[in-house]
């Protein structure tokens, strides 16, 4: 997030808008091509041609074709979501659900990316790698409000487990991702507290 007033620096505002448009063009090209022909059959050259950018420009925005299709960003947490988290009250995990969920919904539609992963399951491995890569960023934020580093790690692990579950389920249309995460976390906790059923009696 820039701290320079856009009115005082119109050229900076124009540059940022152009960068945003370029990112969207690359992402949408990668999305369309991989959706149509699969990850393996799609090349970075095809994506560049579709988005009308050079290979050098492509790598300024994304490290791989999978990252472009999934819109993997250098920073996963939206600055506004971080501000809300730092001022939040209540539980650590619900606040993390809000921060992570709202950040994921910045940019391309979360449901749209999820649909691509469901249609092209070869992207699931890359999505999991993305989650591992951004975990440290989430833990650092959680640690600001957690009582201990261990609590921060566990809270983030719980929310990311919920996120993985949500990605495998049918989308709840019209329901914010943060709300889906909170609901899934509650379900996980309920399962953790379930008692065993009666043993199955084996017949001789």
User: What are 70-104's pLDDT values in tens digits?
Assistant: 988 777 888 999 999 999 999 999 999 999 999 88
pLDDT over 70 percentage in the chain: 90
Mean pLDDT of 176-196: 93
User: 130 CB contacts (<8 Å, ≥6 apart)?
Assistant: 67, 70, 72
Q: What mean pLDDT comes out for the span 131-142?
A: 91
- Bigger pLDDT: 8 or 178? 178
pTM above 0.75, yes or no: no
Nearby residues of 13 by Cβ (< 8 Å), 6 or more positions away: 6
């Amino acid at each position: 997030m820039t701290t320079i007033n856009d009115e005082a620096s119109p050229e900076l505002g124009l540059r940022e808008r152009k960068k945003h448009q370029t990112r969207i063009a690359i992402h949408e090209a990668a999305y369309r091509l991989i959706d149509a022909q699969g990850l393996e059959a799609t090349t970075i050259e095809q994506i560049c041609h579709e988005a009308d950018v050079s290979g050098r420009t492509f790598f300024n925005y994304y490290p791989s074709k999978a990252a472009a299709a999934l819109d993997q960003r250098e920073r996963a947490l939206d600055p506004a979501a971080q501000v809300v988290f730092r001022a939040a009250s209540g539980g650590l995990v619900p606040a993390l659900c809000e921060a992570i969920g709202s950040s994921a919904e910045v940019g391309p539609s979360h449901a749209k990316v999820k649909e691509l992963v469901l249609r092209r399951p070869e992207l699931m491995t890359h999505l999991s790698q993305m989650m591992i890569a951004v975990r440290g960023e989430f833990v650092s934020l959680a640690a600001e409000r957690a009582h201990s580093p261990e609590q921060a790690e566990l809270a983030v692990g719980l929310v990311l487990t919920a996120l993985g579950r949500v990605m495998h389920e049918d989308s709840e249309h019209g329901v914010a991702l943060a709300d889906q995460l909170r609901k899934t976390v509650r379900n996980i906790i309920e399962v953790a507290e379930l008692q065993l059923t009666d043993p199955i009696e084996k017949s001789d």
